[in-house]
């Protein structure tokens, strides 16, 4: 814990390089991901704890050139006095951290009209790297569940590395799907069945198709399309919807 405090200047705001609903990421010699365990709902605490250990499990299994390199973790708990309704109550303050190799950027910063100047060879290599990284995860029975440009980091040579395994699921041998009551994800990249809490390998393929189209077109425009359950889903654009269906189904 003291080491992580020293390399992040005691987790100063100036060191933050990424924010999410469940964690902040700090820059140091390595990237330090600090989970947000201080939540308003007590029901969310076990969910966040599960996410922490699920991410560790996934990262220890996922060693590949196109997956961010996991360096270690810290699970710290210390006694703390809380003043509640005028009474001092001794409780436990829990902090959870994950450490990764530091990478200078992410794919979402390169998907815009201004990024269309990327060489086609570079775009191809990025797509190829993402596919190879995802293929490796699926071979290890890992469903990422939150594949999107912001979760694909790029090194100085524009080599992509899949990151952020907080929503990942580790399947048993022969398992092809799972049901979850806690549906978290990013609109625009979530497969239709995922909205109903069904997690499958195909869910990642759906997200991959959206990412590939964004890399090729340089746009992030979405429109609402109804699925078979009359739920409104976000997809890239109507002209490319047929391509998604071919790849996905």
Residue 158 burial class via C-beta count within 10 angstroms: exposed 0-12, middle 13-18, buried 19 and up: middle
Is 113 assigned a catalytic role? no
**145 DSSP assignment:** S
| 43 sits in which H/E element | none
Sheet holding 31-35, edge to edge: 16-19, 23-27, 31-35, 87-100, 70-84
CB 191 within 8 A of CB 247: no
Cα separations in angstroms, 117 against 216, 217, 240: 11, 11, 22
Q: Which of 146, 199, 207, 130 is nearest to 171 (CA)?
A: 199
CB 161 within 8 A of CB 133: yes
Taking the C-alpha atoms of residue 223 and residue 240, their distance in angstroms, rounded to an integer, is 11
Q: Which of 29, 35, 107, 126 is nearest to 71 (CA)?
A: 29
Taking the C-alpha atoms of residue 178 and residue 199, their distance in angstroms, rounded to an integer, is 5
| 230 sits in which H/E element | none
Q: Of 24, 146, 164, 204, which is the active-site residue?
A: 146
Q: What are phi and psi of 184, to 5 degrees?
A: -120, 150
SS3 190: coil
Tell me which residues are annotated as active site.
146
């Amino acid at each position: 814990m003291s080491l992580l405090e020293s390399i992040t200047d005691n987790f100063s705001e100036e060191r933050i390089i990424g924010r999410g609903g469940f964690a902040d990421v700090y820059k140091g010699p390595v990237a330090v991901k600090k989970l947000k365990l201080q939540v308003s709902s007590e029901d969310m605490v076990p969910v966040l704890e599960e996410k922490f250990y699920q991410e560790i499990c996934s990262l220890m299994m996922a060693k590949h050139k196109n997956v961010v390199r996991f360096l270690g973790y810290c699970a710290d708990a210390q006694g703390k006095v809380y003043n509640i309704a005028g009474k001092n109550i001794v409780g436990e303050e829990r902090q959870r951290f994950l450490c990764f190799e530091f990478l200078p950027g992410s794919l979402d910063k390169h998907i815009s009209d201004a990024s269309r100047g990327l060489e086609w060879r570079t775009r191809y290599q990025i797509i190829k790297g993402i596919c190879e990284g995802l293929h490796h995860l699926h071979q290890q029975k890992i469903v990422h569940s939150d594949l999107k440009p912001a979760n694909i980091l790029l090194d100085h040579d524009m080599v992509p590395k899949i990151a952020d395994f907080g929503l990942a699921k580790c399947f048993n041998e022969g398992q092809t799907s799972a049901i979850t009551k806690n549906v978290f994800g990013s609109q625009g990249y979530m497969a239709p069945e995922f909205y109903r809490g069904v997690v499958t390998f195909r869910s990642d393929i759906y997200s991959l198709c959206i990412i590939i189209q964004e890399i090729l077109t340089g746009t992030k425009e979405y429109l609402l399309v109804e699925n078979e359950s009359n739920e409104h889903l976000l997809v890239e654009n109507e002209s490319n919807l047929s391509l998604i269906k071919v790849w996905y189904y």
